[in-house]
Amino acid sequence: MIRILATDGMEASAVDKLKSLGYEVIEKFYEPEELKTAVKDVDVMVVRSATKVKKDIIDAAAETGRLKLVIRGGVGIDNIDKPYAEEKGIKVTNTPAASSASVAELTIGHMFSMARFIGIANATMRNGEWNKKKYEGIELAGKTLGLIGFGRIAKEVAKRAEVLGMNVVYNKRSGAEAEEETARFVDLETLIKNSDFISLHIPKQKDKDYLIGKDEIEMMKDGVFLINTARGGLIDEDALVEALDSGKVSAAALDVFKEEPTKNEKITKHAKISMTPHIGAATKEAQTRIGGEIVQIIEDFFSKE
């Protein structure tokens, strides 16, 4: 029987479907040392962001050669050493389309939260404060939204922002221009200098520590708003706090952090940061779609065996 290990959980209907098809599904999180043993006796491993599938785990799996497929339930595969895994004969794939709408909606939600002080007003009212005059916000309509990266999620953000009356520009890291109904291509420097809101939608950087650091922030408009629902570590958190304190950045929204769970109190206690605990894909609809994609990937893979 084909054994599937879901280390970070899996949507219930997907588990039920796989079992009905005759697969054995094990839902259990393992610490790294324990995982080295567990991977030797499974054919498929399904992970989210918590489990790291790096060289040591892959080497352990390769000892028996049973593991043939690793699926990341989500968009990125930064937590998996894909080249090394495939070198060892282990296919690595993900579910890139399933959570695009959910992450896009969270991005827009954070933009509203920053623009209208929704998060901090909620918190201060619970402390008995009535800061009606303090929380004068801005409207999103007429503002320029710069999207760094223009993949599936960014395109969903662009659609929603255009309906809100925003002017949307985007940058592709490849530099290739394309005609889009809801957005206009600009180079990265132009985007950074001219956007009122900047939202990141790219993978983790391999060639530099941060995409947005002190130098990039200095290029931005005074009072800019920054959003990161993509990957932790794309923004220099120390530089961000400094810019928030000085007023250079009006507010920031973070769903992802350099360290998760984040222990950076300069971030977690900052009144100008709208925060969520990496929940971009955490909607019922996205989880159902992710589960469905995982089932289809597994069916397709073993039908060709």
CA distance 245 to 239: 10
pLDDT digits (tens, 9 = 90+) for 208-225: 779 999 999 999 999 999
Lowest mean pLDDT among 28-42, 88-102, 108-122, 195-209: 195-209
CA distance 39 to 30: 10
Out of 34, 63, 218, 260, which one is annotated catalytic? 260
pLDDT digits (tens, 9 = 90+) for 142-151: 999 999 999 9
Indicate if 86 and 150 belong to the same structural domain. Answer: no
Indicate if 91 and 217 belong to the same structural domain. Answer: no
Q: Which residues contact 204 (CB under 8 A, 6 or more apart)?
A: 76, 78, 231, 233, 234
Indicate if 107 and 253 belong to the same structural domain. Answer: yes
Q: Is the pLDDT of residue 244 over 50?
A: yes
Indicate if 67 and 195 belong to the same structural domain. Answer: no
Indicate if 117 and 238 belong to the same structural domain. Answer: yes
CA distance 93 to 16: 21
Mean pLDDT of 123-151: 96
Indicate if 141 and 248 belong to the same structural domain. Answer: yes
The mean predicted confidence, pLDDT, of the chain is 94
Indicate if 174 and 253 belong to the same structural domain. Answer: yes
CATH number for the domain that contains residue 44? 3.40.50.720
- Token pair of 162, please? 């255009």
Domain that holds residue 41: 3-95+284-303
278 is catalytic: yes
The total of structural domains in the chain comes to 2
Indicate if 112 and 88 belong to the same structural domain. Answer: no
260 is catalytic: yes
Indicate if 86 and 157 belong to the same structural domain. Answer: no
pLDDT the model gives residue 180: 55
Beta strands 24-27 and 44-47 are unpaired
Indicate if 262 and 148 belong to the same structural domain. Answer: yes
pLDDT the model gives residue 176: 47
- CB 7, CB 45: distance < 8 Å: yes
Identify the CA nearest to 237 among candidates 262, 261, 218: 262
Indicate if 294 and 184 belong to the same structural domain. Answer: no
* N-terminal to C-terminal alpha carbon distance within the chain: 14
Indicate if 50 and 139 belong to the same structural domain. Answer: no
CA distance 162 to 145: 9
34 is catalytic: no
Out of 72, 201, 278, 289, which one is annotated catalytic? 278
pLDDT the model gives residue 177: 46
Out of 231, 237, 270, 293, which one is annotated catalytic? 231
- Does this model's pTM top 0.85? yes
